[in-house]
């Protein structure tokens, strides 16, 4: 099942899992009066399958269930149900390497801020998506423009939830960056510290150490945690700390991490160009190797 990037997502072919059943892709329709659409009561995941197995499916499934709880709703399926459905979906769609998008949302029973009577829905879709950025960007590094929007303080929303509501400032920031000729945006937090990009975490390299912002108001990505676990075998220390933008020119390298981007070097932030990519590229290789080797628990092969 190969899709062109320009093919709209509602016009693709294949199987989708919706509320406990496998259905044809084009039958997955929503009513316009859906709470998730009006009030952003929706949580989702982004997962990747490598060589037929989903990387860290346990952690992603747990994060999905917990994200929903942080938005005060309970997904009516167990982690086991969701993992089984995910594996079966890959099989039915003949996907060996691909991207998986589970999404849960409040339905149409109530349209107001109160929504405790809403039915909770869950869908899972999967498709081929080899690279988030062009292959050439993985070689020469992507460019980031500092966004005008900032990640809000932790008292303003449950920031550990992978919730739709957190993404509008990311969309605005990414649009602005692309209009200015950049690939993506770098988001600061409300204090002016470097936070992350619009959909990935950030690492900087200096003198055998990885410096990465403390995830105290944004997602502590599963890829980020994996890269931290790989640092030691690369002879790198990990320093999680507050990083301010005036440090950008003093780092030797920068790279980003996320399920969609995997590990991707950054070649430029605003006017500062990075010339070195060696650490990012070798971590990218190790990450891929690890993803191929250590996917979900091996007794769950599909």
Site size toward ligand PMP, by CB under 6 A? 15
Distance of CA 129 to the CA centre of its chain: 13
What are the b/e assignments for 25-50, b being 16+ CB within 10 Å? beeeeeeeebbbbebbbbbbbbbbbb
> What residues between 84 and 113 interact with ligand PMP by CB under 6 A?
none
Question: What is the C-alpha to C-alpha distance for residues 261 and 131, in angstroms, rounded to an integer?
Answer: 7
Nearest to residue 45, comparing CAs of 119, 109, 129, 124? 124
Asked if 230 touches ligand PMP (CB under 6 A), the answer is: no
Give the residue, chosen from 199, 204, 236, 283, that forms a contact with ligand PMP under the rule CB under 6 A: 199
CB within 8 Å of 4: residues ≥ 6 apart: none
Question: What is the C-alpha to C-alpha distance for residues 127 and 95, in angstroms, rounded to an integer?
Answer: 7
Asked if 196 touches ligand PMP (CB under 6 A), the answer is: yes
Question: What is the C-alpha to C-alpha distance for residues 124 and 118, in angstroms, rounded to an integer?
Answer: 20
**What separation, in Å, do the N-terminal and C-terminal C-alpha atoms of the chain show?**
18
Computed on alpha carbons and rounded to an integer, the radius of gyration of the chain in Å comes to 19
Identify which range of 73-81, 128-136, 173-181, 218-226 contacts ligand PMP by CB under 6 A. 218-226
E-strand stretches of 214-261: 237-241, 253-258
Nearest to residue 145, comparing CAs of 192, 184, 172? 184
Choice between 46 and 107, CB closer to ligand PMP: 46
Identify which range of 72-80, 153-161, 214-222, 278-286 contacts ligand PMP by CB under 6 A. 214-222
Identify which range of 85-93, 96-104, 251-259, 267-275 contacts ligand PMP by CB under 6 A. 251-259
Choice between 118 and 199, CB closer to ligand PMP: 199
State residue 7 phi and psi, 5-degree precision: -75, 120
Identify which range of 86-94, 194-202, 264-272, 276-284 contacts ligand PMP by CB under 6 A. 194-202
> What residues between 160 and 179 interact with ligand PMP by CB under 6 A?
162
DSSP for 68-119?
HHHTT---SS-HHHHHHHHHHHHHHTT-SSEEEEEEEEE-SS--SS--TTPP
Identify which range of 26-34, 221-229, 235-243, 271-279 contacts ligand PMP by CB under 6 A. 221-229
Nearest approach in angstroms of CB 227 to ligand PMP is 9
Residue least distant from ligand PMP (Cβ)? 221
Asked if 201 touches ligand PMP (CB under 6 A), the answer is: yes
Nearest approach in angstroms of CB 73 to ligand PMP is 20
> What residues between 35 and 74 interact with ligand PMP by CB under 6 A?
46
Nearest approach in angstroms of CB 144 to ligand PMP is 14
C-beta of residue 190 within 8 angstroms of C-beta of residue 150: yes
Nearest approach in angstroms of CB 23 to ligand PMP is 26
Give the residue, chosen from 221, 265, 267, 280, that forms a contact with ligand PMP under the rule CB under 6 A: 221
Binding site for ligand PMP (CB under 6 A): 46, 162, 196, 199-201, 218-219, 221-224, 257-259
């Amino acid at each position: 099942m190969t899709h062109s990037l320009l093919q709209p997502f509602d016009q693709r072919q294949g199987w989708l899992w919706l509320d406990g059943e496998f259905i044809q892709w084009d039958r997955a329709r929503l009513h316009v009066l859906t709470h998730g659409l009006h009030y952003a009561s929706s949580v989702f995941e982004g997962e990747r399958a490598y060589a037929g197995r989903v990387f860290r499916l346990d952690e992603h499934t747990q994060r999905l269930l917990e994200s929903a709880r942080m938005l005060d709703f309970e997904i009516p399926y167990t982690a086991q149900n969701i993992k089984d459905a995910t594996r079966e979906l890959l099989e039915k769609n003949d996907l060996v390497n691909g991207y998986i998008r589970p999404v849960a949302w409040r339905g149409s029973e109530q349209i107001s801020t109160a929504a405790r009577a809403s039915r909770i829905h869950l869908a899972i879709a999967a498709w081929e998506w080899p690279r988030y950025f062009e292959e050439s960007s993985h070689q020469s590094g992507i460019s980031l423009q500092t966004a005008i929007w900032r990640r809000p303080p932790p008292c303003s929303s449950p920031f550990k939830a992978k919730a739709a509501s957190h993404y509008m400032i990311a969309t605005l920031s990414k649009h602005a960056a692309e209009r200015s000729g950049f690939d993506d945006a770098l988001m600061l937090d409300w204090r002016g510290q470097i936070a992350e990009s619009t959909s990935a975490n950030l690492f900087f390299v200096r003198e055998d150490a990885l410096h990465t912002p403390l995830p105290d108001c944004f997602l502590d990505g599963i890829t980020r945690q994996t890269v931290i676990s790989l640092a030691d075998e690369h002879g790198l220390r990990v320093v999680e700390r507050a990083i301010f933008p005036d440090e950008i020119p003093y780092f030797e390298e920068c790279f980003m991490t996320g399920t969609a981007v995997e590990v991707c070097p950054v070649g430029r932030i605003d006017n500062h160009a990075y010339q070195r990519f060696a650490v990012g590229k070798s971590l990218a290789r190790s990450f891929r190797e690890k993803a191929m080797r250590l996917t979900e628990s091996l007794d769950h092969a599909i």
